[in-house]
Copies of this chain bind each other. A is one copy, B any other.
Amino acid sequence: MTMDKIAALKRSKLFESLEDSTLRMLAQRAVERTFRKDEVLFVAGEEARGLYVIVEGAVRAYRVSLDGREQVIHVERAGATIAELPVFDDGTYPSTAAAEEDTTVLFIDKQDVRRLCLEHPQIPLAALKVLAARLRRCAELVEALSLREVGQRLARFLVAEAHRNGTRADNGTWMNLTQTNQQIAARIGSVREVVSRAFTRLQHEGLIVVDGRHLLIPDEAALEAFADQR
């Protein structure tokens, strides 16, 4: 089972560059934990004790308004890490995190990571890449929330999901929507009903063809154009 941990760590962006001997040591210190769908890993503002490497499943980091609406900041999947920030700046957890599906993670104490950073300068460099990517996405999200309408945000979301998920066919790109309208709403900054309407509008415009939770994008470029333009 430590074998599994080593393999999991090796698949992560942060630790992939380490030699096996170092990984073994790290794996021994890492604690495996599992979370059911929607179980909370940590809450924004809590004292942060370490970071999480996702072995399997997916985790969303989000904020909640007083009336209970969620806004997802980012979603991370197997191989990614969450709660790296406190390791480097000693702050609290920046967002609440919950399992987006049944999930297995490795918890690593932040002191262990820091020690490793000093001995292995590749880790800070890898971490910089991770944070840089996340910052780019976060800026995209800000732009979308402030300057684009819900329909465009949905279109962009679908294009991204298609890249991650979809299979190319000769009549376009097919994909399964794994999330509910509720979940999509929390991602793009809206509510269930409005997402539902945005779906029907995209369908009327011929930009997507919906069949239950199975969906076809006949012309990805057109959908992207809709997302960017107007």
Contact = CB atoms under 8 A, between A and B. Distances in A.
Interface of A: 63-66, 69, 71, 73, 84-85, 88-89, 91, 94-95, 117-118, 121, 124-125, 127-129, 131-136, 138-139, 141-143, 145-148, 189, 229-230
Given A71-B142, A121-B121, A128-B127, A136 B63 contact: no
Given A66-B229, A71-B142, A138-B139, A89 B132 contact: yes
A223 B160 CA distance: 39
27 contacts: A63-B139, A63-B143, A63-B146, A65-B147, A66-B229, A66-B230, A69-B147, A71-B147, A84-B132, A85-B136, A88-B125, A89-B128, A89-B132, A89-B136, A94-B135, A117-B125, A118-B121, A124-B127, A128-B128, A131-B131, A134-B135, A135-B138, A138-B139, A138-B142, A145-B146, A145-B189, A146-B189
Across the A-B interface, the 6 shortest Cβ-Cβ residue pairs = A65-B147, A124-B124, A71-B146, A146-B189, A88-B128, A89-B132
B136 A91 contact: yes
One complex includes copies of this chain to the number of 2
Nearest to A118: B121
Given A131-B131, A131-B132, 18 more contacts: A63-B143, A66-B229, A69-B147, A71-B146, A73-B139, A85-B132, A85-B136, A88-B129, A117-B125, A124-B124, A124-B125, A128-B131, A131-B135, A135-B135, A138-B138, A138-B139, A145-B145, A145-B189
A124 to B, nearest CB: 4
Contact of A142 (B65, B124, B136, B142): B142
A89 B129 contact: yes
Nearest to A138: B138
Nearest to A124: B124
A93 to B, nearest CB: 10
A141 B144 CA distance: 12
Nearest to A64: B147
Contacts of A189: 145-146
Given A65-B148, A127-B128, A147-B69, A95 B135 contact: no
